[in-house]
Amino acid sequence: MHEVRFHGRGGQGAVTSAELLAQAAIAEGKSAQAFPSFGPERRGAPVIAFARVSDKPIKNRAAIQEPSLVLVLDPSLLRLVRIDKGLKPGGTVVINTGRDAQAIREEFNITARLAIVDANHIAREEIGRLITNTTMLGAAMAAVPMVSNEKLEHALEERFGRIAAKNINAFRRAQTEAKIVEAV
């Protein structure tokens, strides 16, 4: 089972990302859950969302304490939250940053497997807005392919309608531009 934690800010699409991943997994015949964890936060406040994807029925409804994959949609959160807290051994952290993986490792003491992508740059160019959720899903699927691109792209089409093509382009581009760096 894949357990995923998304770190973002209100309005960046972390909750939507979790939902899209779950929808794609269900469309593929897998079991999935998606749920947010936030109170009365406002746009821009830190938000956490979760998803589970499994080939078997999921009976666990508890909060995810030990994710196998963590996505960081907003790099400023690296200074506020220990994003690799509880990460399972062998887990992966996907970070939206234009910085080098080694610099991230040194500054934030992250030893886990990393996937680095400049999702801000891709989102600006492909979508025209600084909303990185679909871009980060592309990087995540490059690092840990849980569902097929076909099913995830179909979920994007259903969710975004006329602007889906821009999000799909960002998703695909992030898959090719993500840099995967093994754990140290």
Per-residue pLDDT of the chain (184 residues; tens, 9 = 90+): 999 999 999 888 999 999 999 999 999 999 999 998 865 556 778 889 999 999 999 998 888 999 999 999 999 999 998 999 999 999 999 999 999 999 999 999 999 999 999 999 999 999 999 899 999 999 999 999 999 999 999 999 999 999 999 999 999 999 999 999 999 8
CA 172 to chain centre: 14
pLDDT at 79: 93
Q: How many alpha carbons lie under 13 Å from residue 151 in its C-beta half-sphere?
A: 17
* Strand runs labelled E in 10-163: 31-37, 46-54, 69-72, 92-96, 113-117
- Token couple for 23: 């929808």
Neighbours of 45 (CB within 10 A): 12
Tell me how far CA of residue 163 lies from CA of 40, 68, 73, 106, 127, in angstroms.
29, 31, 20, 38, 8
Burial class, 31, CB count within 10 angstroms (exposed 0-12 / middle 13-18 / buried 19+): middle
Write down the domain spans for the chain.
2-181
**Measured in whole angstroms, how far is the alpha carbon of residue 125 from the centre of its chain?**
19
Length of the chain: 184
Facing residues of 71 across strands? 6, 94
CA distances from 168 to 13, 48, 149, 152 (A): 15, 23, 10, 9
Residue pointed to by tokens 């357990």 = 3
Question: What dotted CATH number matches 2-181?
Answer: 3.40.920.10
Work out whether the CA dihedral 1, 143, 123, 74 comes out positive or negative.
positive
Residue 26 CA to residue 42 CA, distance in Å, equals: 30
In this prediction, residue 120 carries a pLDDT of: 97
Specify the pLDDT at position 36.
87
